[in-house]
Amino acid sequence: MYLEQIDELVRCLHQLRDFNFERHPGGLKRYSEIEQLYDHVMRDVFPDEHWRSGLRNHGPSSVHAHLDRLERQIASLRHADSGGCRFTQSDAAQFPQLLTAVNDLKASTVGKTQFIEHFKEWFSTHPRGVVVDPYLFTLAKQKQKDYCDGVIEILGKTVERIDFYYLRGNYVKAVAQDIFDGLNLSKKRDIFFYPCENLHDRVWLRHYETSDTPSLTGWEGRVVGASVNGISLRPTYVIDMPKDDAKGYSKYIANLRSNGGIGGAAILAQKTP
């Protein structure tokens, strides 16, 4: 029975080796799960610590071969270059932070706090903030206040102009209203909404200019793996974009802006923005 379990682990590792980490960052979570499963199988098959430690010299040859193959698979994945973001000139060193807050109340609280503090500091030196998120204004009612407070805390201190890009079909007006109201208390900042027809990315950008046509060279960006409310549900990457990539991405959002943006107050006055 345990040989079948070990074989299943090897099959999982083969699948993971072919996993597209660039398009599915959740593969790292899967990798962690497989490591835990491997440890569980080892303890299940060899409950005695002495047996586990002496397996290399005294275990049956069939078990030895299976486990040796499995450990080689794990080692190859651990040192593989699969985790790098495939942006221009980027590699695994571009990860400034990995927030691993999954199904653990304490960890999720710490992870979310780190995320908020991380971006508050990042935006504190720039007056222009951009949030690109297809599900920015979509949220279950019971989580609404906590989520809105997080977005407001990140952007609400120093950013003078805020642009929100979101998927038109994923919009809850009450969420947008709460975020807008929280950010607009001073009445001294510009807030623009850009509903989009086709949007897949979650990207946060900053700039030192607030005009509609800021210089291309001033953009800086970060790719994130989840919205603020998703930090407690899955591992979340915050990946620095090389400046050339941020510059290229700014051209994409400039094209979205050319299709028309709407001031926050105006869009919230509409019935179906």
Q: Is 236 helix (H, G, I), strand (E, B) or coil?
A: strand
Confidence band for 161, pLDDT divided at 50, 70 and 90: very high
Q: Is the pLDDT of residue 263 over 70?
A: no
Q: Is the pLDDT of residue 233 over 70?
A: no
Q: Please, what is the Cα angle at 183 between 105 and 259, to 5 degrees?
A: 105
Give the up-direction half-sphere exposure of residue 78: CA atoms within 13 A in the CB hemisphere: 9
Quote the distance between the C-alpha of residue 30 and its chain's center.
Answer: 15
Q: Which of 16-20, 140-144, 188-192, 254-258 ranks highest by mean pLDDT?
A: 188-192
Q: Average of pLDDT values for 151-172? A: 87
- Please list the helix, strand and coil fractions of the chain in percent, rounded to the nearest 5, in that order: 50, 15, 35
With beta carbons less than 8 A apart as the criterion, state whether 73 and 13 touch: yes
Task: Please tell me the least confidently modeled range out of 89-98, 104-113, 146-155.
Answer: 89-98
Which has more pLDDT, 265 or 190? 190
Task: Kindly state the percentage of the chain with pLDDT values over 70.
Answer: 49
Q: If 0-12 CB within 10 Å is exposed, 13-18 middle and 19+ buried, where does residue 211 land?
A: exposed
Quote the distance between the C-alpha of residue 86 and its chain's center.
Answer: 15
Confidence band for 89, pLDDT divided at 50, 70 and 90: very low
Q: In the prediction, which pLDDT does 81 show? A: 42
Which residue, chain included where needed, has tokens 């503090």? 117
User: What is the rounded CA–CA span in Å between residue 134 and residue 14?
Assistant: 32
**Token pair of 236 as six digits:** 């979340």
Q: In the prediction, which pLDDT does 163 show? A: 92
Q: In the prediction, which pLDDT does 93 show? A: 43
Q: Is 153 helix (H, G, I), strand (E, B) or coil?
A: helix
pLDDT tens per residue across span 45-78: 555 554 445 444 444 445 555 556 656 655 555 4
Q: In the prediction, which pLDDT does 2 show? A: 52
Sign of CA dihedral 148, 153, 155, 160: positive
Q: Average of pLDDT values for 127-150? A: 82
With beta carbons less than 8 A apart as the criterion, state whether 228 and 152 touch: no
Confidence band for 150, pLDDT divided at 50, 70 and 90: confident
User: What is the rounded CA–CA span in Å between residue 69 and residue 67?
Assistant: 5
Average pLDDT, the chain: 70
Q: Is the pLDDT of residue 126 over 90?
A: yes
Task: Please tell me the least confidently modeled range out of 100-114, 174-188, 238-252.
Answer: 100-114
Number of H helices, E strands in the chain: 10, 8
Q: In the prediction, which pLDDT does 175 show? A: 86
pLDDT tens per residue across span 190-232: 998 888 888 888 899 999 999 988 998 899 999 887 777 666 5
Q: Which residues contact 5 (CB under 8 A, 6 or more apart)?
A: 41, 44, 45
pLDDT tens per residue across span 71-85: 665 555 544 443 334
Quote the distance between the C-alpha of residue 106 and its chain's center.
Answer: 19
The model's pTM is 0.59
Radius of gyration of the chain (CA): 23
User: What is the rounded CA–CA span in Å between residue 52 and residue 202?
Assistant: 45
Q: Please, what is the Cα angle at 7 between 56 and 70, to 5 degrees?
A: 45
